[in-house]
């Protein structure tokens, strides 16, 4: 089968189209004919060798796919049972191997999708959709009437988080680098869009909230964005830190938190599924319904053929995109 392989840690030139054996599903897995694969920052960090527990080259990257179930792996006495059957339309969290014509995924992270959802749109469900919903609700404990700051509000996670926060009755503050991206966040439900390239984000939030700050921050950027998050936080507010797309590890001195009764909560999708799967996957029914009915819009920036995976990586890492970047094998 055709697949993209990382031959060595490095830049996007290390992504090469190759032929690999077709993977077979093991106990508790399904195999999927991939019709669309999403590109995420985690894929880029794995390619660079910077991601925790990055696979060793050569490997096929890709955390999320959408496609058609081909085969169900055998159950054992303790294995997961499933009502999935060959021919089902699904989206799946794969952990790796998604940039290929065929991929395998655990049954528990393979989700049947409605016919109303395109395969490209469905790639937003397993990583970015779950991350947006979990960071807002499961980890962020959002309540109606609260103020929420979403960094990179036009990105894959951010564009979904803005919509979900607005639907939950929050006042939404979103950061974005260009006028086009800020207009998009407003169209998706942000009450205030902040240009982080020319404006001190914390000062802007404090001005917009008349000095009260925000109750919840979603930060997948780290670096200066995390510093601004701490400065923008209301007393007893909380930050959910779920990434460091800036490449800079976020830190904060704990006295700054306990004197203001504030908190920083960490979120990592794959580790959360490993340790508290029910807490993560509780979001699936609501997400599938919202996506299937169109109440939650998936913003797709571009769809590329598999052999242009490097082009997709570069566009994402250079902040040239909004929403999803998708590969089609």
**The pLDDT of residue 67:** 98
Q: Cα–Cα distances in Å, from 261 out to 234, 237, 257, 264, 281? A: 9, 7, 6, 11, 29
Torsions phi, psi of 200, nearest 5?
Answer: -75, 115
Closest CA to 93 of 117, 128, 144: 128
Confidence of residue 273 (pLDDT cuts 50, 70, 90): very high
- Over the Cα atoms of the chain, what is R_g? 19
Closest CA to 105 of 175, 28, 214: 28
Note the pLDDT tens digit of each residue in 14-63: 999 999 999 999 999 999 999 999 999 999 999 999 888 789 999 999 99
Q: Which domains can be identified in the chain, with CATH numbers?
A: 2-124+298-328 (3.90.180.10), 128-270 (3.40.50.720)
**The pLDDT of residue 92:** 98
**The pLDDT of residue 318:** 92
Element counts in the chain: helices (H) and strands (E): 12, 15
Note the pLDDT tens digit of each residue in 186-242: 999 999 999 999 999 999 999 999 999 999 999 999 999 999 999 999 999 999 999
**The pLDDT of residue 75:** 59
**The pLDDT of residue 280:** 97
Torsions phi, psi of 14, nearest 5?
Answer: -80, -5
Helix (H) or strand (E) holding 2: strand 2-6
Whether the predicted pLDDT of 322 surpasses 60: yes
Mean pLDDT calculated for residue range 152-162: 97
CA pair distance 29, 33, nearest whole angstrom: 14
The answer to whether 185 touches 153, Cβ cutoff 8 Å, is yes
Note the pLDDT tens digit of each residue in 67-123: 999 999 975 544 556 899 999 999 999 978 999 999 999 999 999 999 999 999 999
**The pLDDT of residue 78:** 44
Mean pLDDT is lowest, of 62-66, 245-249, 262-266, for 245-249
Instruction: Tell me the average pLDDT of the chain.
Output: 95
**The pLDDT of residue 244:** 83
Burial of 250 per CB tally in 10 Å (0-12, 13-18, 19+): buried
């Amino acid at each position: 089968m055709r697949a993209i392989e990382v031959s060595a840690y490095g830049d996007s030139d290390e992504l090469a189209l190759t032929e690999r054996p077709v993977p077979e599903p093991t106990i508790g897995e399904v195999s999927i004919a991939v019709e669309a694969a999403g590109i995420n920052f985690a894929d880029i960090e794995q390619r660079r060798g910077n991601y925790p527990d990055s696979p060793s080259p050569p490997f096929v990257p890709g955390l999320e796919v959408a496609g058609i179930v081909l085969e169900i792996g055998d159950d054992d006495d303790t294995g997961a049972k499933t009502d999935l059957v060959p021919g089902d339309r699904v989206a799946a969290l794969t952990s790796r191997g998604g940039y290929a014509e065929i991929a395998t995924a655990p049954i528990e992270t393979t989700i049947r999708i409605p016919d109303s959802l395109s395969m490209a749109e469905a790639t937003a469900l397993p990583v970015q959709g779950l991350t947006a919903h979990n960071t807002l609700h499961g980890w962020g404990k959002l309540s109606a009437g609260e103020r929420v700051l979403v960094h990179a509000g036009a990105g894959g996670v951010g564009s979904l988080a803005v919509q979900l926060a607005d639907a939950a009755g929050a006042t939404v503050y979103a950061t974005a680098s260009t006028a086009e991206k800020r207009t998009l966040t407003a169209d998706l439900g942000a009450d205030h869009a902040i240009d982080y390239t020319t404006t001190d984000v914390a000062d802007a939030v404090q001005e917009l909230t008349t000095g009260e700050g925000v109750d919840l921050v979603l930060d997948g950027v780290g670096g200066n964005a995390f510093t601004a998050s701490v400065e923008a936080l209301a007393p007893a507010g909380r930050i959910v830190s779920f990434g460091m797309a800036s490449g800079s590890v976020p830190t904060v001195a704990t006295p700054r938190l306990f004197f203001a009764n504030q908190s920083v909560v960490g979120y990592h999708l794959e580790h959360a599924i490993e340790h508290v799967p029910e807490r993560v996957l509780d979001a699936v029914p609501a997400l599938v319904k919202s996506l299937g009915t169109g109440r939650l819009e998936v913003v797709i920036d571009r769809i590329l053929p598999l052999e242009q995976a490097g082009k997709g990586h570069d566009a994402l890492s250079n902040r040239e995109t909004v929403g999803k970047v998708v590969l089609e094998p």
